[in-house]
């Protein structure tokens, strides 16, 4: 047995189902070993796509997704997806091939110090230099990647080490991360919540990672406290719940901003500041905060909790609930807020404008997807509309890249989502800019048999940047481009292609595309004049009740 074979055995022991990546000269020993394992290797068309697939796999399952590249340019291509996983707290293991250790002391073809290069975008970056250390390195990597807060780990495997004889066996998996909050912090939190008149809950992705959705919903319901979720916290509480105030996180004021303006206590549950900076909702640092999470709060002048309840989130909420004495109902502001938010959402149900308004596209998309179906959002202007208007009944049914906010994640992410949940419908929502960044992974989707729908918001430009330029300078520059015929492009790759040419065509096109046995692409022209209209409307927002 050589080191590569021992490494594969260790990965199989960790329960790895898939490895996403590209073959290369320096990872040949590893690929040879994979052929005799239970692990399925998914050959992608670009290393960035491979890392995004591992990223989304990790976020959906809670188990580290694994991606592979060769050295040099293969490894540098991998980095964007690795960084995205790390900042979005998705468990991921990145494995890179490397030159032999006998070549590292001199200038060598394609050699880079990958351990140092990956260190800033991972929780741990290491190199296997002794075959016998492989089991320890793998076990430590998975334990770190999957521990709260999850993130990325990098393992570098030099080609001569990969071929060396190795002895040993995979280590036993004994992860036990149960940590419970102190009674003093629970009692203090219950006291603050009982005294609050206008509390509001801010729930983030940590509640999803810790499977705390039922506990959050019960907590909010029994204490009559309205709930706002971050982009990554969608579905923690069903959007149909009467206390759900939907998403917060736009970089400008919105209806939900009024809720924070009037709050006398924010109960942050599973909230990570990278999801939505507290300086946006508590700029003066004056709103009292109760922090409830599996890890302690980061230091921020706008986020200084009165108490930190650090431990298992569900257990903490149950213990606080048993001690809190709050019989009141939500302040009328919360009821009015929900009515305003829902009223604007429903306003676009029958809109017939063409190109189609983004609110209408999102509304129709919600109508054709079941509560358990999955939307993967790319990054761009459409992401803002997905975040604001696509609402969820269940956790992890709307995946948004938010911490790193990398364009190009939607299509490879949808491949991973369909592998994890083949029985669910999956839609990749992307702009035309993001679509062209990883369109090649549609060939991967066809080859591995993952039929999903890619819905393109087509505006012929980088819409989000144009939105910001128009807001700041009243004009735009360098953001427009031309596109290929997306229908013909899809058909040339063995996909089904559609073009929407009227607002009333969108629903039937979506339904048809979702029934296809191959991936489908929908080219949907979008009216992004709504971006500036939205900004103008929010400037006139009046929070008076």
Same domain, 274 and 421: no
Give Cα 406 to chain centroid, integer Å: 10
Q: Quick one: average pLDDT of 16-33?
A: 96
Burial 35-49 (b: 16+ CB within 10 A, else e): eeeebebbebbbbbb
Q: Is residue 224 a part of any domain in this protein? A: yes
- The rounded distance, in Å, linking the Cα atoms of 46 and 13 is 27
The side-by-side arrangement of strands in the sheet containing 199-203 is 244-247, 227-229, 199-203, 265-269, 289-293, 307-310
Q: Is residue 7 a part of any domain in this protein? A: yes
CA-based max dimension of the chain: 74
* CATH number of domain containing 28: 3.40.50.970
- The rounded distance, in Å, linking the Cα atoms of 320 and 193 is 9
Same domain, 422 and 478: yes
Q: Is 202 helix (H, G, I), strand (E, B) or coil?
A: strand
Q: Is 136 helix (H, G, I), strand (E, B) or coil?
A: helix
Could you read off the pLDDT of 181-202 as tens digits, one per residue?
999 999 999 999 999 999 999 9
Q: Is residue 474 a part of any domain in this protein? A: yes
Q: Quick one: pLDDT band at residue 333, thresholds 50, 70, 90?
A: low
* CATH number of domain containing 285: 3.40.50.1220
Question: What pLDDT shows up at residue 331?
Answer: 66
User: What does pTM read for this prediction?
Assistant: 0.95
Closest CA to 89 of 275, 231, 230: 275
324-338, 492-506, 517-531: least confident range: 324-338
Q: Is residue 338 a part of any domain in this protein? A: no
Contact 260, 201 (CB under 8 A): no
What are the CB-based long-range contacts (under 8 Å, 24+) for 364-370? 364/506, 364/507, 364/510, 365/390, 365/427, 365/429, 365/455, 365/510, 366/390, 366/391, 367/507, 368/507, 368/510, 368/511, 368/514, 369/425, 369/427, 370/424, 370/425
Q: Quick one: average pLDDT of 520-530?
A: 95
Question: What pLDDT shows up at residue 321?
Answer: 96
Q: Quick one: average pLDDT of 386-404?
A: 94
Same domain, 310 and 377: no
Could you read off the pLDDT of 123-178 as tens digits, one per residue?
999 999 999 999 999 999 999 999 999 999 999 999 999 999 999 999 999 877 78
Same domain, 406 and 527: yes
Give Cα 395 to chain centroid, integer Å: 11
Same domain, 216 and 322: yes
SS (H, E, C) 467-499: HHHHHHHCCCCCCECCCCCHHHHHHHCCCEEEE
Same domain, 129 and 212: no
Contact 444, 471 (CB under 8 A): no
Could you read off the pLDDT of 424-476 as tens digits, one per residue?
999 999 999 999 999 999 999 999 999 999 999 999 999 999 988 998 899 99
Q: Quick one: average pLDDT of 508-533?
A: 95
- The rounded distance, in Å, linking the Cα atoms of 85 and 153 is 10
Q: Is residue 60 a part of any domain in this protein? A: yes
Same domain, 224 and 306: yes
Range(s) of the domain holding residue 501 = 347-536
- Say which residues have a Cβ less than 8 Å from residue 335's Cβ, sequence separation at least 6: none
Q: Is residue 287 a part of any domain in this protein? A: yes
Q: Is residue 296 a part of any domain in this protein? A: yes
Number of compact structural domains in the chain: 3
Same domain, 157 and 191: no
Question: What pLDDT shows up at residue 537?
Answer: 77
Question: What pLDDT shows up at residue 330?
Answer: 67
CA triple 498-500-503, angle to 5 deg: 150
Phi and psi at residue 355, in whole multiples of 5°?
A: -50, 160
């Amino acid at each position: 047995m050589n080191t590569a074979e021992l490494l594969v055995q260790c990965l199989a022991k960790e329960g790895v189902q898939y490895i996403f990546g590209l073959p290369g000269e320096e990872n040949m020993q590893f690929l040879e070993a994979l052929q005799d394992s239970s692990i399925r290797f998914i050959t992608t068309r670009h290393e960035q796509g491979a890392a995004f697939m591992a990223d989304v796999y990790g976020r959906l399952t809670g188990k580290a997704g694994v991606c592979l590249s060769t050295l040099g340019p293969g490894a540098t291509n991998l980095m964007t997806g690795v960084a995205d996983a790390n900042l979005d707290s998705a468990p991921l293991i990145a494995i890179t091939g490397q030159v032999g250790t006998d070549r590292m002391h001199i200038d060598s073809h394609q050699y880079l110090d990958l351990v140092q290069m990956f260190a800033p975008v991972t929780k741990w970056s290491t190199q296997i230099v002794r075959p016998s250390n492989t089991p320890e390195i793998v076990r430590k990597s998975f334990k770190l990647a999957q521990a709260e807060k999850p993130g990325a780990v990098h393992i570098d495997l030099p080609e001569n080490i990969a071929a060396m004889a190795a002895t040993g066996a995979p280590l036993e998996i004994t992860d036990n991360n149960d940590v419970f909050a102190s009674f003093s912090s629970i009692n203090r939190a219950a006291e603050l919540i009982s005294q609050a008149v206008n509390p509001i809950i801010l729930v983030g992705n940590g509640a999803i990672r810790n499977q705390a959705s039922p506990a959050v919903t019960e907590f909010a319901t029994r204490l009559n406290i309205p709930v706002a979720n971050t982009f990554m916290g969608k579905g923690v509480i069903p959007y149909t719940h009467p206390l759900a105030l939907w998403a917060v996180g736009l970089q400008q004021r919105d209806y939900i901003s009024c809720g924070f303006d009037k709050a006398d206590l924010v109960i942050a549950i599973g909230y990570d500041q990278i999801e939505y900076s507290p300086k946006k909702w508590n700029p003066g640092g004056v709103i009292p905060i109760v922090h409830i999470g599996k890890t302690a709060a980061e230091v921020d002048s706008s986020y200084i909790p009165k108490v930190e309840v650090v431990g298992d989130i569900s257990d903490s909420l149950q213990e606080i609930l048993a001690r809190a004495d709050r019989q009141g109902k939500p302040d009328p502001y919360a009821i009015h807020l929900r009515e305003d938010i829902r009223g604007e959402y429903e306003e676009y149900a029958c809109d017939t404008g063409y190109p189609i308004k983004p609110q209408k596209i999102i509304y129709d998309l919600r109508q054709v997807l079941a509560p358990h179906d999955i939307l993967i959002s790319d990054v761009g202007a459409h992401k803002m509309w997905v975040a604001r208007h696509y609402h969820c009944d269940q956790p992890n049914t709307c995946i948004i890249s938010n911490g790193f906010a990398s364009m190009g994640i939607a299509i490879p992410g949808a491949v991973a989502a369909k592998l994890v949940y083949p029985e669910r419908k999956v839609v990749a929502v992307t702009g035309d800019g993001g679509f062209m960044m990883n369109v090649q992974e549609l060939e991967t989707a066809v080859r591995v048999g993952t039929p999903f729908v890619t819905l393109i918001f087509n505006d012929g430009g980088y819409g989000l940047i144009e939105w910001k330029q128009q807001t700041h300078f009243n004009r735009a520059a360098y953001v427009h481009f031309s596109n290929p015929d997306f229908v013909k492009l899809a058909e040339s790759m063995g996909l089904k292609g559609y073009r929407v040419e009227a607002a009333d065509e969108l629903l039937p096109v979506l339904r048809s595309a979702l029934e296809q046995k191959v991936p489908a692409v929908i080219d949907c022209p979008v009216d992004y004049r709504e971006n500036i209209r939205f900004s103008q409307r929010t400037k006139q927002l009046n929070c008076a009740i």
